[in-house]
Amino acid sequence: MPRAPTAMLQLAVAVVLASACRPAPREGLPAGADAALAPLSAADQAAIRATDTAFATAAGAGDVTRLAAMYLADASLMPPNAATIQGRDGIQKFWGAFLDPYRLNITVTAEEIEGHGDLAYARGRYTLDLTPKAKGAAPAHDEGKFLEILRRQPDGTWRYAVDMYSSDLPVPK
């Protein structure tokens, strides 16, 4: 008996079964496209904006524990005129040292949010007013830009993977 027709029949059955078991494509994506290619939804963009608002609120309250919790455990913080800080513990120490001598008022405005799946970036502007806690020290003002890379967590929240910011103002002399 020839085996070729049996092998061809088995292959045809396998192809039919494989295509029948394939999940239906997500709305707006071509058949076979991976969910990781799905563009961010309006809800994702709103959640990222809410993350930035929560950051500003925690910074204004001087709550470095809450600030640090907004970063991934292995996140990178890239402040101006300083080396990159790796990891949530280092980031918490940085923000603690930065906020300790000041009362802070910060506004964060994302001008662009893009991404796919569980990865996004936000680009925007900030304004910052620092009021020294010590009497006689001068207040300070800064304004500049930021770039963040965020990852969606299993609970739907977004956390900073990379956070970079820099001033638009000249370096004081």
Beta strands across the sheet bearing 158-167:
85-86, 71-78, 158-167, 140-152, 119-132, 102-116
Average pLDDT score over residue span 22-40: 58
Alpha-carbon distance of 138 to 4, in angstroms, equals: 87
Q: Say which residue, 84 or 13, is predicted with more confidence.
A: 84
Beta bridge partners of 109: 125
pLDDT for res 25 = 44
Interval 126-141: pLDDT, tens: 999 999 999 989 999 9
Note the pLDDT of residue 37: 80
Domains of the chain: 39-167 (3.10.450.50)
pLDDT digits (tens, 9 = 90+) for 39-79: 999 999 999 999 999 999 999 999 999 999 999 999 999 99
Q: Residue 39, Cβ neighbours under 10 Å: how many?
A: 13
Six-digit token pair at 154? 């299993």
Dig out the tokens for 133 from the structure. 């806690």
Per-residue pLDDT, 36: 66
Q: How confident is the model at residue 17 (pLDDT cuts 50, 70, 90)?
A: very low
Q: Evaluate if residue 150 carries a pLDDT over 80.
A: yes
Cβ–Cβ < 8 Å for 30, 104: no
Tokens coding 68: 């640090």
In angstroms, rounded to a whole number, what is the distance separating the alpha carbons of residues 119 and 34? 14
- pLDDT for 16 beyond 80: no
What are the tens digits of pLDDT across the range 92-128?
A: 999 999 999 999 999 999 999 999 999 999 999 999 9
